[in-house]
């Protein structure tokens, strides 16, 4: 039994597969509504899976703050309605920026429990139709309203605190942090769905406008519209209808204090450390076995914290590990081949599902110019807030 409540598939003999994926373009999509986006992603996923919509038995949708962003609540029913799936259980899932990852986990759990054979996990956010100030208010809802937001903190400020402490404790340089943005933009250039399909230089990042010292504009993920959906199936059903399933071999989640000030360390995301430990145990693998990872780089410093928490390098060594090229495609642990949140974009409720889609494309061998050679095991790491929630999934090709 997992320490966090998910039964190990090696013990039960059960397996869950991703059999279909659907993704919209990410960006400032003013011509498309909230419901347009999730409908597009869902239709693409069902088509990719080669199933009929009537085969779907349950639906989970990650969406962080649709009430503030799009003046729309009651999301489960809305998505079921527009997907032509009324009648089935449909649930909105919220865990701040980890809402998509948690929706995937809920869908996985539904199949592992033996309740269903085909389940949809989706994510959607429409963020650009409101003024920036309102968007920032909505996003800060992922932090501690009383102790952080009320006192003027923003998420750039919180991650800036983490960056400054990491620099002080471990000698991490602003250049090393900036290399995350350079790498992820280079990967996004080859992702047709990415918001920013262009490269940036180290000088571009270092000379971009200051947001919260030491973070510059090009260290920060953008405000984004977009949706994503995946179709999950039991082993029996997957083998009946799919020639190239991607197997989810672990689903783990952990939490930490909501307020950054209450944490034992500003430079370690304990929720991610715990979730990764549990995921590795479930899958029967270690960090060294991971061929690629999609991690939650909402700010460039967050990618360094992620690769340390996942065990790709020692705590404090993320900057040097990145500088040495280990996280590039072709490196020891390619990270954010999709472009990550920085290059691909970050429609917050969508991100966890989009990460799963990149993992699926990599394991199918269909990621094009950003393909990781001989990819067999992938990992996704989705974070809510400044690290109060972390969801980690591990995937295999065979």
242 is catalytic: no
111 shares its domain with 162:
no
pLDDT value of residue 5: 47
For the chain, residues with pLDDT lower than 70 are: 1-13
- The tokens describing 271, both together, are 């929720």
Mean pLDDT, the chain, integer: 95
116 shares its domain with 259:
no
Contact 75/42 with Cβ under 8 angstroms? no
- Domain count for the chain: 2
Cα separation, 75 vs 93, whole angstroms? 9
Nearest to 138 by CA among 158, 160, 122, 154: 154
91 shares its domain with 170:
no
160 shares its domain with 89:
no
Burial of 4 (0-12, 13-18, 19+ CB in 10 A): middle
pLDDT value of residue 1: 34
Q: For strand 377-384 and strand 389-396, is the pairing parallel, antiparallel, or unpaired? A: antiparallel
**In-domain check, residue 57:** yes
346 is catalytic: yes
**In-domain check, residue 354:** yes
Nearest to 20 by CA among 195, 253, 246: 246
pLDDT value of residue 14: 83
205 shares its domain with 231:
no
**In-domain check, residue 331:** yes
Given the residues 97, 220, 298, 313, select the one marked as catalytic.
97
Given the residues 333, 346, 381, 393, select the one marked as catalytic.
346
Element (H, E) at 69: helix 66-70
330 shares its domain with 213:
yes
**In-domain check, residue 2:** no
294 shares its domain with 356:
yes
Domain boundaries, position 53: 9-130+224-246
Contact 76/61 with Cβ under 8 angstroms? yes
Task: Identify the DSSP state of 223.
Answer: P
Cα separation, 312 vs 292, whole angstroms? 10
**What Å distances lie between residue 128 and 26, 69, 317, 368, CA to CA?**
11, 8, 36, 29
pLDDT value of residue 4: 43
167 shares its domain with 47:
no
**In-domain check, residue 267:** yes
| 0.75 exceeded by pTM | yes
Cα separation, 107 vs 271, whole angstroms? 21
**In-domain check, residue 3:** no
Contact 185/342 with Cβ under 8 angstroms? yes
363 shares its domain with 375:
yes
Cα separation, 398 vs 386, whole angstroms? 34
CATH number at residue 186: 3.40.47.10
**In-domain check, residue 377:** yes
284 shares its domain with 370:
yes
**In-domain check, residue 135:** no
Angle at 316 between CA 379 and CA 221, to 5 degrees: 55
151 shares its domain with 108:
no
pLDDT value of residue 12: 52
184 shares its domain with 67:
no
Backbone angles phi, psi at 117, to 5 degrees: -105, -30
């Amino acid at each position: 039994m997992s320490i966090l409540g998910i039964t190990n598939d090696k013990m039960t003999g059960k397996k869950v597969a991703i059999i279909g994926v659907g993704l919209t373009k990410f960006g400032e999509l003013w011509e498309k509504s909230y419901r347009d986006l999730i409908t597009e992603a869902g239709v693409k996923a069902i088509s990719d899976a080669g199933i009929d919509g009537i085969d779907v038995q349950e639906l989970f949708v990650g969406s962080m703050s649709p009430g503030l962003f799009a003046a729309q609540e009651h999301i489960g029913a809305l998505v079921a309605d527009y997907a032509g799936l009324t009648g089935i259980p449909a649930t909105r899932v919220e865990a701040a920026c980890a809402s998509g990852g948690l929706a995937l986990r809920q869908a996985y759990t539904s199949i592992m429990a033996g309740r269903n054979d085909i389940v949809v996990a989706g994510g959607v956010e429409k963020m650009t139709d409101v003024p920036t100030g309102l968007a920032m208010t909505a996003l800060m809802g992922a932090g501690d309203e009383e102790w952080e937001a009320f006192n003027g903190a923003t998420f750039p400020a919180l991650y800036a605190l983490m960056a400054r402490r990491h620099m002080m404790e471990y000698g991490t340089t602003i250049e090393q942090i900036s290399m995350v943005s350079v790498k992820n933009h280079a990967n996004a250039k080859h992702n047709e769905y990415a918001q920013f399909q262009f490269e940036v230089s180290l000088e571009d990042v270092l000379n971009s406008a200051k947001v919260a010292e030491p973070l510059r504009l090009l260290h920060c993920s953008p405000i984004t519209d977009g949706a994503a959906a995946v179709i999950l199936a039991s082993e029996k059903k997957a083998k009946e209808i799919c020639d190239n399933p991607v197997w989810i071999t672990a689903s783990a989640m952990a939490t930490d204090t909501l307020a950054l000030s209450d944490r034992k360390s500003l430079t370690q995301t304990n929720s991610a450390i715990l979730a990764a430990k549990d995921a590795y145990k479930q899958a029967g693998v270690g960090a060294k076995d991971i061929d690629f990872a999609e991690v939650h780089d909402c700010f460039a410093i967050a990618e360094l914290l992620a690769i340390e928490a996942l065990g790709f390098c020692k705590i404090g060594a993320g900057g040097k590990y990145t500088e040495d090229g280990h996280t590039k495609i072709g490196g020891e642990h390619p990270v954010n081949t999709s472009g990550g949140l920085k290059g691909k974009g970050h429609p917050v409720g969508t991100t966890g599902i989009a990460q799963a889609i990149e993992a699926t494309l990599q394991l199918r061998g269909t990621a094009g110019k950003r393909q990781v050679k001989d990819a067999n095991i992938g990992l996704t790491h989705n974070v809510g807030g400044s690290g109060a929630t972390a969801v980690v999934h591990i995937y295999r090709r065979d």
